[in-house]
Amino acid sequence: MAGRRIAWCLTGAGHWLEESVTLALTLEGIDFFLSRAAEEVLRLYRLEERLQGRPLFRDRMASAPLSGRFGQGVYRALVIAPTTSNTVAKCVLGLSDSLVSTFFAQAGKSDVPVAVLPTDTVPYLLSRDPAGRSVAVRPRAIDLERVEQLASFDGVTVARRPGDLARWLEALP
């Protein structure tokens, strides 16, 4: 039987970061996992305090032993939000050399549904730096192509906006 908890990975993206944290904190039964860059970026955006008191795990071990939880049925879903272009590329290539990319691989090998919220889904977007200044971002063709490739994976849903992710979570069995 599928587990009742959800594994929520944060990667080192400023875009959709506050929205992702806010959405995750509305839900029960979330275990948070941070990429190494996510730790830094959460601190830069002064959002780390919001996760205090929640189950939270950092990327400290090369073999990502907690990824074994997917095979054990602990998690009914994996969410990666926000998802950097770096993590999207690793996942598409089948790399599993970090906590988040290993979770993605193990969720796939254990038939656990995955939702990702990439930052780079359109050719032009306005983001915010940690000081609150507006920053124009023009994702490259390769960033956009990788997102489309990820969307073609079995069991993987690409959310284009936080609202899409919220609806996916509501529909989870």
Ligand X SMILES: Cc1cc2nc3c(=O)[nH]c(=O)nc-3n(C[C@H](O)[C@H](O)[C@H](O)COP(=O)(O)O)c2cc1C
Q: Give yes or no for residue 15 binding ligand X (CB under 6 A).
A: yes
Task: Yes or no: say if 111 and 128 are a contact pair by the CB < 8 Å rule.
Answer: no
CA torsion sign, 69 to 78 to 51 to 89? positive
Q: Give yes or no for residue 159 binding ligand X (CB under 6 A).
A: no
Q: Give yes or no for residue 14 binding ligand X (CB under 6 A).
A: yes
Q: Which of 67, 98, 106, 157 binds ligand X (CB under 6 A)?
A: 98
> Would you say 87 or 110 has its CB closer to ligand X?
87
Q: How far apart are CA 68 and CA 159, in angstroms?
A: 25
Could you check whether the bond before residue 82 is cis, i.e. omega within 30 degrees of 0? Answer: yes
Q: Give yes or no for residue 150 binding ligand X (CB under 6 A).
A: no
Q: Which of 20, 67, 87, 96 binds ligand X (CB under 6 A)?
A: 87
CB of 13 to ligand X, least distance (A): 4
What is the 3-state secondary structure of 109-127? HCCCCEEEEECCCCCCEEE
Q: Give yes or no for residue 67 binding ligand X (CB under 6 A).
A: no
Q: How far apart are CA 9 and CA 113, in angstroms?
A: 14
> What values do phi and psi take at 50, rounded to 5?
-65, -20
Q: Which of 6, 7, 13, 80 binds ligand X (CB under 6 A)?
A: 13
Q: Give yes or no for residue 119 binding ligand X (CB under 6 A).
A: yes
Strand order in the sheet with 5-10: 56-58, 30-34, 5-10, 75-83, 114-118, 156-158
Kindly indicate which of the ranges 22-30, 35-43, 149-157, 163-171 contains the residues binding ligand X, using the contact rule CB under 6 A.
Answer: 35-43
Q: Give yes or no for residue 38 binding ligand X (CB under 6 A).
A: yes
Kindly indicate which of the ranges 33-41, 48-56, 107-115, 154-162 contains the residues binding ligand X, using the contact rule CB under 6 A.
Answer: 33-41
Residues near ligand X, by CB under 6 A: 11-15, 35, 37-38, 41, 44, 84-87, 98, 119-120, 127, 130
